[in-house]
Amino acid sequence: MPTFRTTRSVQHSPAQMFALVADVERYPEFVPLCEDLRVMRRVQSGEGIETLVATMSVGYKAIRETFTTRVTLDDPRRKITVEYVDGPFKYLENRWTFRDAPGGGCEVEFYINYEFKSFALGLLMGSVFDKAFRKFTEAFEERADEIYGTPSKAQAGARSA
C-alpha cells in the first residue's frame, strides 16, 4: 500500500497554488505520466465548493491505464480531495492543502495513498508511480513559476528574513 506525503514551501500564495492544482484540464501539459484528462461532470455547491468527476489516462513506455476520480475543490478551506471511482486501483486517496507560510508564500501539502487491483500491475507500475508522485509537487511548483512568475531573489530573501 504505497503512501507518499510531502510538504513544500513555495513563493506563491495559497490562492494561486489552489487555482493551479484545481485546473485539472491542464495536467497533461506538465504532470508526470499524465497523457490525458477529461472532466466528465462539474457540480457547483454555491459555498465555494465544486465537485468534478474526471478521467485521467496515464502512461509509461508501453503501459497505459485510465481511471476515474471524484475531485472536490474546497476553495474556502484551500483543500482538494480526490476519491477513487473506477479503474486499475483497489483504492486511491489523494489530498492537497494550501496554507499561508510564515513570512509569505504558501505551504503545499501533498498526500497520496493507493493500491493497484492487480499484483502484477502493482509490481510493474509501483516504482514508476512512486517516482512520479515524488516529482508531482515539484512539477506544480515549476508550473506556478511559469504562470505567476519566478519571485525575484530580493523578494525571496525578504520573505526568509
| Model confidence pLDDT, tens digit, residues 30-69 | 998 899 999 999 999 889 999 999 999 988 888 888 999 9
Residue 23 to residue 34: CA distance in whole angstroms: 14
Q: Which residue has the cell 493551479?
A: 20
| Domains of the chain and CATH, by start | 3-151 (3.30.530.20)
pTM of the predicted structure, to 2 decimals? 0.86
Check: CB of residue 11 under 8 Å from CB of residue 156: yes
Check: CB of residue 33 under 8 Å from CB of residue 55: no
Q: What is the DSSP string of 34-101?
A: EEEEEEEEEEE-SSSEEEEEEEEEEEETTEEEEEEEEEEEETTTTEEEEEEEESSEEEEEEEEEEEEP
Sheet holding 3-10, edge to edge: 3-10, 106-116, 89-100, 79-86, 63-74, 49-60, 34-44
Check: CB of residue 5 under 8 Å from CB of residue 149: no
Residue 133 to residue 94: CA distance in whole angstroms: 11
| Model confidence pLDDT, tens digit, residues 76-104 | 999 999 999 999 999 999 999 999 999 89
The predicted pLDDT at position 92 comes to 92
In sign, the C-alpha dihedral spanning 160, 144, 138, 87 is positive
| Model confidence pLDDT, tens digit, residues 93-142 | 999 999 999 989 999 999 999 888 888 777 777 677 777 777 887 899 99
